[in-house]
Amino acid sequence: MRFETRAIHAGLDSANAARAIVPPVYHSTIYELNEAGKQDDELLYSRLDNPNRRQWEALAASLEGGAAAAAFASGIAAAAAVLQALEPGDHVIFPEDLYSGHRMMITGLMNRWKLETSFTDATNPDAVRAAIRPNTRLIWMETPSNPMLRITDIAAVCELARSRGLLSCVDNTWPTPVNQLPLALGADLVMHSSTKYFGGHSDTLGGLVIAREDGELMERIRFIQRLGGAVPSPQDCWMLARSTRTLAYRMKGHNEHGMMLARFLDTHPAVEAVYYPGLESHPGYGVAARQMQHFGGMISFLVKGDAPLALKVVSGSELIKRATSLGGVESSWEHRLSTEGEGSKTPGNLIRFSVGLEHPEDLKEDLNRALSVI
Ligand SMILES: *Cc1c(COP(=O)(O)O)cnc(C)c1O
């Protein structure tokens, strides 16, 4: 079955009493035990498992082409679970340009628990190879990266990881499985903030880990999910599954508008540079064109001016909301340096733009209005 069909039918369990096509939300935290003290469907207690989480995980695993998925309460909880599955003293290689919240989690939490980490230029597989140490266990990728939209060659880095007996994990939040399938390119794990495009309406937090094979590593991640306890509620799983039914069609719009507005900004006199992997001028274009089906709805760009001017631009729009996060039906943007704060290497004149599903001509008018302060 093809992606659009799986997105609508995978994980749909109509084995409920009323044969409802849309499955109910199972709010119950507990399930009746049989006389032997067990539960026939191995449902016991909602933190450990529940029907809505099962359905959501089955859907997510199907769309990424994985053998198993584990759902979490947020993207950052999913990323933490992957790292907690390693041992103290293990070393992990991260890309230099990484979602800033993830970097804070690593340095403020994981390093304190003796995980060793280094950050390298992931656009260059040789730099990644040079960062490998005897205790390296995992290579982490995020491509396109946040917020610079740098591109990592997933197949090349996964091949490197495999040849050295290392695990590989790709944060696939920005491209989604509509645009990029890391497991098919050789990755062991995919991680998601389902808060973004899966949720798609800026109203639900969630995270996912999806594994190519359901073995010891995934067992460990499920253990952390259940005993660490950062699980999504049944209602959240239901919401995320509901939104994901339309993911393929929302992504068509995000991809089309992203490409259109990246070209528009690229020729705009108030714009100094545009970072979008679908532009032929992007240094990662060749790799992106090979490993991505489409280029997504995220654009970063530099305005001709300084940080105060960039802040003025993001305050000058009427449609585009001034907000962090991304992937909603509504367009939003932010002065990324203000969000990332101290220690950030993001340029002061960079604006990160999540292109929504409004009519692109209305968005162009809004961009012209906001950029007119320059
Ligand atoms: C938002 C985001 C995360 C973190 O996910 P939360 O759901 O906010 O915890 C991780 N990676 C990327 C690329 C993101 O955009």
Rounded (10°) CA dihedral 280, 146, 291, 278? -20
d(CA 287, CA 124): 11
Do 236 and 277 lie in one domain? The reply is no
Strands 298-303 and 189-193 turn out to be: unpaired
CATH, residue 315: 3.90.1150.10
d(CA 52, CA 56): 6
Q: Which atom of ligand 1 is nearest to the CA of 174?
A: 13
Tell the residue nearest (CA) to atom 6 of ligand 1: 75
pLDDT of residue 178: 98
109-125 burial code (b ≥16 CB/10 A, e <16): ebeeeebbbebbbbbeb
Domain end, chosen from 244, 265, 299, is at 244
Do 44 and 121 lie in one domain? The reply is yes
Length reported for the chain: 374
- Cα angle value 144/149/153 (rounded, 5°): 45
Do 207 and 352 lie in one domain? The reply is no
Cα radius of gyration (the chain): 21
Ligand 1 site, residue 193, Cβ cutoff 6 A = yes
SS3 for 96? coil
Both tokens assigned to 88: 């103290």
- Cα 77 to ligand 1 centroid, rounded to whole Å: 9
Ligand 1 site, residue 205, Cβ cutoff 6 A = yes
CATH, residue 89: 3.40.640.10
The segments of the chain whose pLDDT lies below 70 read none
Do 277 and 178 lie in one domain? The reply is no
Do 266 and 170 lie in one domain? The reply is no
State the DSSP H helix or E strand holding residue 221, giving kind and residue range, or none if neither. helix 216-228
Do 127 and 252 lie in one domain? The reply is no
Instruction: Give the residue among 184, 189, 186, 229 at the shortest CA–CA distance from 209.
Output: 189
Domain end, chosen from 244, 259, 292, is at 244
- The contacts found for 269-273 with CB under 8 angstroms, 24 or more apart, are 269/304, 270/303, 270/304, 270/371, 270/372, 270/374, 271/301, 271/302, 271/303, 271/304, 271/371, 272/301, 272/302, 272/303, 272/304, 272/349, 273/301, 273/302
pLDDT of residue 156: 98
Count other C-beta atoms under 10 Å from residue 41's C-beta. Answer: 11
pLDDT of residue 39: 80
Amino acid identity for residue 58 in this structure: A
pLDDT of residue 342: 84
pLDDT of residue 139: 98
* Total structural domains within the chain: 2
Do 105 and 149 lie in one domain? The reply is yes
Q: Is 149 left (phi over 0), alpha (psi -120 to 50) or beta?
A: left
Do 222 and 298 lie in one domain? The reply is no
- Cα 269 to ligand 1 centroid, rounded to whole Å: 32
pLDDT per residue over 65-112, tens digit each? Answer: 999 999 999 999 999 999 999 999 999 999 999 999 999 999 999 999
Do 253 and 225 lie in one domain? The reply is no
d(CA 71, CA 83): 15
Ligand 1 site, residue 207, Cβ cutoff 6 A = yes
Do 320 and 194 lie in one domain? The reply is no
Residues 186, 153 contacting (CB under 8 angstroms): no
State the residue range of the domain holding 280. Answer: 248-371
Do 302 and 169 lie in one domain? The reply is no
pLDDT of residue 37: 86
Residues 152, 120 contacting (CB under 8 angstroms): no
Instruction: Give the residue among 181, 195, 186, 179 at the shortest CA–CA distance from 163.
Output: 186
Ligand 1 site, residue 173, Cβ cutoff 6 A = yes
Domain end, chosen from 196, 223, 244, is at 244
Do 216 and 335 lie in one domain? The reply is no
- Cα 123 to ligand 1 centroid, rounded to whole Å: 20
d(CA 103, CA 108): 8
Ligand 1 site, residue 99, Cβ cutoff 6 A = yes
